[in-house]
Amino acid sequence: MIARLIHWSLRNRLLVVMVALLLAGWGAVVARNTPLNALPDLSDVQVIVHATWPGQAPQVMEDQVTYPLTTTMMSVPGATTVRGISMFGESFVYVLFKDRTDLYWARSRVLEYLSQVSSQLPSNVEVALGPDATGVGWIYEYALVDRTGRHDLSQLRAIQDWYLRYALKTVPNVSEVATVGGKVREYQIVLDPDRLRAYGIPLGRIEAAMKGANNEVGGSVIEQGETEYMVRAHGYLKTLADFRAIPLGVGPGGTPITLGDVARIQRGPSLRRGIAELNGDGQVVGGVVVLRFHQNALATLDALHARIQQVQKTLPKGVEIVPTYDQSGLIHRAVTNLGEKLIEELLIVAAVCMLFLFHIRSALVAVVTLPLGILVAFIIMDAQGIDANIMSLGGIAIAIGEMVDAAVVMIENAHRKLEAWRCEHGAEAVLESARRLNLIADAATEVGPALFFSLLILALSFVPILALQGESGRLFSPLAYTKTYAVAVAAALSVTLVPVLMAAFIRGRLRAENANPLNRALTATYRPLLRLVLAAPWPTLGVAVVVLGVSVIPFSRLGSEFMPPLNEGDLMYMPSALPGLSVGKAAQLLQQTDRILKTFPEVQTVFGKAGRAETSTDPAPLDMFETILQLKPQNEWPAGMTQKKLIAEMNAALQIPGLSNIFVQPIRDRINMLSTGLKSPVGVKITGPDLATIAGIGQQVERVVKVVLGTASAFAQRVDGGHYIDIRPDRQAAARYGLNIDDLQRIIRLAVGGEPIGRTVEGLQRFPINLRYPHALRDSASALRILPIVTPSGATVTLGQVADIRFTNGPPMIASEDARPTGFVYIDLQPGRDLGRYVADARRAVAEKVTLPPGYDIHWAGEYQQLQRGVQRLKLIVPFTLLLIFLLLFLIFRDLVSALLILGTLPFALVGGVWLVWLLGENLSIASAVGFIGLTGIASEFGVVMLVYIHHAVNERRAAGRLRNRQELREAIRDGALLRLRPLAMTATVVVAGLLPLFFGQGTGSHMMQTVAAPMVGGMLSAAVLTMLVLPAAYWLIERRHLPAAAQAPVDTPDRKVRHE
């Protein structure tokens, strides 16, 4: 069938060329418009449920809000994990779904189950779905500053909340613009309890009066004089005087009692749970632009930049938007770097073809098919919705050398056919066009079918990678797809366009193979080695087995990790502080650390955040700091400085008591937090029924792992480290004064906690109204004990008379996973310590020294969890890959022995890969495993080329009746291997040379691609040597059984010439 397709293509050359040009034009248009991104979207499908209940403690939120929500969401179809977080006044429930679940289907299912549980929640709890985005979608951050000092933090916050935020939300594919830091202006009604007692006004009456004094309504329409008038009644509170005039009742003499008589009304800042700071210069207002799930980041950022330029012109004088984090730089660096590597590979492959063939037009055949194959791959990428990123472009880059294999071998075979004809008919003979076309057709059909199937092996060898799940599957599936597409297209071109181009370009004077000094050198080197291995096949196999056995030594010393680090160009500093940190202290520590970080010459901007941004994608407590460090370009750094050295110096400069330092890559860390719930590369999850016990176990684990070799820092989350003032009502004492629990809790909720009871409407802006007692009456436990309460009968009692007030400790935040309370131990590793061995050592130490009570579990999580998941999947993928390769080999040769022979050479290909990975000091990772999987396909293809030529030489001798004994078999094997040395050498060289730009590359994404390329480069070097020597020896041992020994073996002399066909 393949031979018929080749002949059909040669008969319809114009049609084939026209189709190729059409595909090239289509592919060029698609490639120009392909969305660009730094990485594939690695985030899990996630739906967020966000509930607010202002002023409530974490335990109250957990018991009454989070627990009912999490237990209900565990029944949502497709949900894999349900995480709950209860914080001060807020509850977050994160529902993670199976891979490939449609996000909007998942959101509709969550809404459906949310309607079932809403009746179980307190009446004043507000529940809503979070944005259709995740924390990984934080693509742009900025600070709003006023260089002139005319605007304070509350005014800047109002500009951000009521103007800038909405202006930026109009950008397509922006899911949310969140605010962080600043001060929200609110109207504060500070009640005077003595006046309340004098007038006999209970607190509930003031709350009701406030809610009835701030509203506007419409009164339909009135027709008058053929004109329609719409009726409206004004009633919004606009000024402080409006507040003071709110009536509360009438005094004894008919004098009205107003709010101004019993309270002081003022404007002030509301309670803050988030702080933003810039460059150590002081607090600012910040903003975070969150990308909608699975959308084009670069296109969104380009539109966002244009929108910011427009909005900047409309801001008040002196107010400026300062970018503090921008993913577009990472995207451009990554894509540009891979694009340059693709161009370098094209040039190197062209140079290799020229070097071996010494014929420019022949080299053009191989070079022309490369860009066409890449462009067609872009067409398929576009149809599948794959954008251009490090991994998808990396798949094409890895395939470059493999894509020209078939063309190279076909071209070389055509050269040989034409050279043979010239030798047979003389240099002066004229080769007619029809005869030349027949020779090219014979050359193509002779090797075309085997080459086509060998390229299919290369293409399909990466298909099992698509079976990877979770983050590793999302990361490497674009690489597997594009590499498969590119090689599959090359396979199709090899039996259609390549023969046509050969007919068009392989003309004129062709130099003989031995005229090329490189070919002569290769032949001179290979001939004695081949003679030696055929003379001593068993020692040859013995040496190969020894080499394979010795390779166990470096393999046993390789560490393991989930993924090699990706240098994103920016850093994030995420120290952990002890819980119970006040807002003022958090602001002080944040400014202190930012000021230190800004002193490093490599740092461009420092944007620090303590607490959370106003988004459900950021459930950070006040004691969690996240500082984004925008770094200058590497060429502006001091000589010899690397990111590892920079992190080490920063860590040494930031030894601040109470802070445990962690430095991470921004995107990498947000992926970890989303997928595993941890902010550190590795950590421990402790689950059980009691938070105090979890805290004790966590601190034991912290002490144990701190002394494990490779620990940079370890910090156990203090799940019971919050500070509380507990108010326990005395029911009997309260009943004597006519007070029930609700009356007391209203006092605590409103007067002490200061609950918002409404909002003002001031044009487009809205500001909260807060009701509470004076600060002096609620700033300590002793003050709370004498807090006056007006009873329903008008009598006055103190809070201490009806309740017990004491200091206690409790949870500052409650985390749960699948409705079980959870504590975390965050662990950061020292550079150079591999993840797999570290966790093995740490697990052993924890198992020996930490005893778990019944009902409690320890789980190692973070990147280690992803590594284990990937390893388990690879245990299924690798055997399936080998089986797939074996089936394709059998289809090529229709011979079980030949298929097993090539499959048996694969371990020798792995030898070079193992040694090179070890020499580079790299660890085994999912990325390197992908490289080894790809290597099996390349090595198989190389063995196919070798075996096809040996088979051809043996069959030719058998047909001529010159395969009568073992000596003639040895000569046939030597002819097949030696006479076909040039295509074999070209095949290996173009593959290795095509990978060299990736292997030696620098820049964003290069380390990831180097990790994938290293096993392939090292493996191809060993495969080229071992397969060219071991495979002929093994073939000789297998085939010689069918022939008798020679009666008299002819003598081989060193100058014996091998004949040309």
The CATH number that applies at residue 849 is 3.30.70.1320
What single-letter amino acid sits at 191?
Answer: L
The rounded distance, in Å, linking the Cα atoms of 80 and 19 is: 47
- pLDDT per residue as tens digits for the range 932-951: 888 887 788 778 878 877 88
If asked whether residues 785 and 690 sit together in one domain, one would say no
CA 809, 813, 815, 819 torsion-angle sign: positive
Tokens linked to 616: 């459900």
Q: What are phi and psi of 716, to 5 degrees?
A: -90, 130
CA 1004 to chain centre: 14
CA 920 to chain centre: 24
Tokens linked to 649: 């110096």
Query: Which residue in the block uniquely carries the two structure tokens 């089936």?
Result: 887
CA 585 to chain centre: 34
- pLDDT per residue as tens digits for the range 199-233: 888 877 888 898 888 888 888 889 888 899 999 88
Mean pLDDT over 541-565 rounds to 85
If asked whether residues 712 and 764 sit together in one domain, one would say no
Is pLDDT at 380 greater than 80 in this prediction? yes
pLDDT band at 1046 (very low <50, low <70, confident <90, very high): low
The pLDDT value given to residue 511 = 65
Is pLDDT at 1060 greater than 80 in this prediction? no
pTM given for the model: 0.82
Q: What b/e string do you get for 592-615 counting C-beta neighbours within 10 Å, with b at 16 or more?
A: bbbbebbebebbbbbbbbbbbbbb
Burial of residue 428, with CB atoms counted within 10 A of its CB: 0-12 exposed, 13-18 middle, 19 or more buried? exposed
More confident residue, 1000 or 168: 168
- pLDDT per residue as tens digits for the range 968-995: 888 888 887 876 677 777 777 878 877 8
Strand intervals (E) in 378-504: none
Lowest-confidence region among 435-444, 592-601, 625-634, 765-774: 435-444
The pLDDT value given to residue 610 = 92
Write the CATH number for 787: 3.30.2090.10
Is pLDDT at 593 greater than 90 in this prediction? yes
Q: What domain range is 52 assigned to?
A: 44-133
Q: Which of 414-418, 771-775, 843-847, 999-1003 has the highest mean pLDDT?
A: 843-847
Across the chain, mean pLDDT equals 84
* Cβ contacts of 909 within 8 Å, gap of 6 or more: 935, 936, 938, 939, 1019, 1020, 1022, 1023, 1026, 1027
Is pLDDT at 578 greater than 50 in this prediction? yes
Is pLDDT at 509 greater than 70 in this prediction? no
pLDDT band at 738 (very low <50, low <70, confident <90, very high): confident
More confident residue, 300 or 356: 300
Pairing of strands 857-862, 722-729: unpaired
Lowest-confidence region among 633-647, 838-852, 990-1004: 990-1004
- pLDDT per residue as tens digits for the range 110-156: 999 999 898 899 988 999 999 998 777 889 999 999 988 888 999 99
- Number of Cβ atoms within 10 Å of the Cβ of 345: 25
Is pLDDT at 1057 greater than 60 in this prediction? no
- Between the CA of residue 537 and those of 176, 1034, 1036, 1040, 1047, what are the distances in Å? 69, 7, 8, 11, 20
If asked whether residues 772 and 820 sit together in one domain, one would say no
Is pLDDT at 1058 greater than 60 in this prediction? no
Q: Please report how the helices 390-403 and 360-384 are oriented relative to each other, as an axis angle in degrees rounded to 10.
A: 150
If asked whether residues 545 and 481 sit together in one domain, one would say no
* Inter-residue contact 695 to 823 (CB < 8 Å): yes
If asked whether residues 410 and 529 sit together in one domain, one would say no
Question: Can you list the alpha helix ranges (DSSP code H) found in 680-740?
Answer: 691-706, 731-736
If asked whether residues 403 and 474 sit together in one domain, one would say yes
* Inter-residue contact 587 to 282 (CB < 8 Å): no
The pLDDT value given to residue 1053 = 39
Is pLDDT at 1056 greater than 50 in this prediction? no
The pLDDT value given to residue 430 = 64
pLDDT band at 104 (very low <50, low <70, confident <90, very high): very high
Q: Is residue 653 domain-resident?
A: no
Put residue 891 in one of left, alpha, beta given phi > 0 → left and psi -120 to 50 → alpha: alpha
If asked whether residues 699 and 839 sit together in one domain, one would say yes
The pLDDT value given to residue 608 = 93
* Domain's final residue, options 810, 836, 871: 810
Q: Is residue 145 domain-resident?
A: no
* CA 302-308-311 angle, 5° bins: 145
* Domain's final residue, options 810, 834, 851: 810
If asked whether residues 400 and 498 sit together in one domain, one would say yes
Q: Is residue 288 domain-resident?
A: no
The pLDDT value given to residue 513 = 63
Lowest-confidence region among 255-259, 868-872, 979-983, 1055-1059: 1055-1059
The pLDDT value given to residue 431 = 67
3 state SS of 1050? coil
Mean pLDDT over 892-905 rounds to 81
The pLDDT value given to residue 779 = 80
The pLDDT value given to residue 1061 = 35
Write the CATH number for 383: 1.20.1640.10
If asked whether residues 461 and 387 sit together in one domain, one would say yes
Is pLDDT at 1054 greater than 50 in this prediction? no
Q: Is residue 89 domain-resident?
A: yes
If asked whether residues 87 and 199 sit together in one domain, one would say no
The rounded distance, in Å, linking the Cα atoms of 577 and 661 is: 9
Q: Is residue 25 domain-resident?
A: no
The rounded distance, in Å, linking the Cα atoms of 691 and 63 is: 13
Q: Is residue 635 domain-resident?
A: yes
3 state SS of 665? coil
Q: Is residue 626 domain-resident?
A: no
* Inter-residue contact 930 to 1012 (CB < 8 Å): yes
Q: Is residue 176 domain-resident?
A: no
905: enclosing H helix or E strand: helix 896-919
If asked whether residues 787 and 663 sit together in one domain, one would say no
Write the CATH number for 101: 3.30.70.1430
The rounded distance, in Å, linking the Cα atoms of 392 and 38 is: 10
Lowest-confidence region among 17-26, 246-255, 582-591, 698-707: 246-255
Mean pLDDT over 687-703 rounds to 90
β-bridge mates for residue 629, sequence order: 571, 606
What single-letter amino acid sits at 1047?
Answer: A
Mean pLDDT over 844-858 rounds to 90
If asked whether residues 922 and 1030 sit together in one domain, one would say yes
The pLDDT value given to residue 310 = 94
Share of the chain above pLDDT 70, in %: 96
Lowest-confidence region among 54-58, 404-408, 674-678: 674-678
The rounded distance, in Å, linking the Cα atoms of 635 and 657 is: 34
Per the structure, how many domains does the chain have? 5
